[in-house]
Amino acid sequence: MKHMQDNKQWDAVVIGGGASGMMAAGRAAERGKSVLLLEKNLELGVKLKITGGGRCNITNAEGDEQKLLSHYGKAKSALHSPFSQFGVKDTFLFFESRGLPLVVQKYSRVFPKTERAIDVFRVLEKYLKQNKVEIRTNASVKKIKAEDGHISAVIVDDEEIIATSFILATGGKSHPETGSTGDGFSWLSLLGHTVKEPTPTIVPLAVQDEWIKKLAGTVLQAARISFFVEKKRKLILKGDIACTHFGLSGPLILNAAGNVADLLHEGTVTAQIDTYPQKDIGLLDKIIVSVFDKHKNKSLKSVWNNIAPIGTGRALLPLLKDIVSDMKVNSITKEQRRQIVDLLKTLPVTIIGLMGYDRAVVSDGGLSLEEVDTRTMRSKKYANLYITGDLLHINRPSGGYSL
């Protein structure tokens, strides 16, 4: 086995060239350290370039640090120190001072003004180059050597690379196609650390709309829900949709929550529920005409269960413009009838998040924070090992709380 570059000892070796690895490498080099960055992919920042649907939700502009940290569940108390050292304002300053202005959008989500994740990557790439970080891509670490509470070297191919300090930044298990295959979890376990296995995101969806909350306990059977990001259709689901006091649930929704979480990173997510996906607009209109003809002198609210899902009247009738529930059906115009059809085919929903911050991430799990000094991100078991990014067991919602 040969040593790299005639047995050169680096001040720091960073394993993983994603967002946290690039930031760690750049900062260490900025402080005058000799730094080697190892990335197993052919290029750096593969996941970063696609995050947020290619728009990159960098942070959340919540100005109250207590409120911001409340989104991190049990990790809240451990994050006061790192956020005080480098918080939201520092994030703005970092990117804007390097020529990438940021904008705050709905729900305080922060994006690059260009709305291009590649521009975020380029800032970090330039940060590495300016500080003379040595980068090796296509460099897959095979082994981490440790002895007596100290990491002595890492093995890449047939090379042994030695350093004073090692930073592990290999990412979690979300988007494994980008190289996040959980290697870091395996290494940490082999080193004797406690690693919580990632759990799938199976959680209900929180919505903004009061009409759904009024339907708590009602199930819209055999419905179809279409999700949109900035008015572009992204996802269609068919099945039973359970309405709750906070939003949407049921197996159909629970199993798709991870996909919806990805959409929330892209932008404002709205949805439309079609309560009669098997009937087109024309057929539904004919059915309503038939019901109205049979009950000419009755009010709309008294025949509602004949034309809409049972039990939805009190929530849906107020959504109709210029139509009151007491109106006799024989006085309802063709245009007003069409409004009823449109409502039943496109019930409007705005998704504001995933319920349960303890599980509302695409891939959680990771190193227990009890085994990390979060003031420095140093392992409490190995004096020269540091762990960053998605390797840490920090649950958080979508909306700018990850990067």
Could you read off the pLDDT of 86-132 as tens digits, one per residue?
Answer: 999 999 999 999 999 999 987 788 999 999 999 999 999 999 999 99
Instruction: Return the higher-pLDDT residue of 400 and 384.
Output: 384
What is the rounded average pLDDT of the residues 335-352?
Answer: 94
What is the rounded average pLDDT of the residues 300-304?
Answer: 92
What is the rounded average pLDDT of the residues 231-260?
Answer: 88
Structure tokens at 380: 């409490």
Give the chain's domains with CATH numbers.
2-200+359-391 (3.50.50.60), 204-355 (no CATH)
pLDDT band of 178, cuts 50, 70, 90: low
Instruction: Return the higher-pLDDT residue of 322 and 299.
Output: 299
Q: Which helix (H) or strand (E) holds 228?
A: strand 219-229
- pLDDT value at position 204? 83
Q: Measure Cα distances from 215 to 82, 94, 245 in Å.
A: 42, 46, 8
Q: What is the overall mean pLDDT for the chain?
A: 89
pLDDT band of 235, cuts 50, 70, 90: very high
What is the rounded average pLDDT of the residues 159-171?
Answer: 95
Instruction: Return the higher-pLDDT residue of 315 and 353.
Output: 315
pLDDT band of 177, cuts 50, 70, 90: low
Which residues, 6+ apart, have CB-to-CB distance to 42 below 8 Å?
Answer: 137, 138
What gap in Å lies between CA 56 and CA 328, rounded to an integer?
52
**Radius of gyration over alpha carbons of the chain, in Å?**
26
What is the rounded average pLDDT of the residues 236-260?
Answer: 87
Structure tokens at 231: 């008015």
pLDDT band of 264, cuts 50, 70, 90: confident
- pLDDT value at position 160? 95
205-207 and 35-38 strand pairing = unpaired
- pLDDT value at position 197? 76
Q: Please, are residues 195 and 365 in contact by the beta-carbon 8 Å criterion?
A: yes
Is residue 357 pLDDT above 50, yes or no?
no
In sequence order, what DSSP letters do the residues of 317-372 get, joined into one string? GGGSTT--TTSBGGG--HHHHHHHHHHHH-EEEEEEEES-TTT-SSS--EE-GGGE
Percent of the chain with pLDDT over 70: 91
Q: Please, are residues 108 and 79 in contact by the beta-carbon 8 Å criterion?
A: no
202: nearest Cα among 395, 91, 66, 354: 354
Is residue 196 pLDDT above 90, yes or no?
no
Is residue 176 pLDDT above 80, yes or no?
no
- pLDDT value at position 8? 83
- pLDDT value at position 101? 98
Task: Residue 196: count other Cβ atoms within 10 Å of its Cβ.
Answer: 13
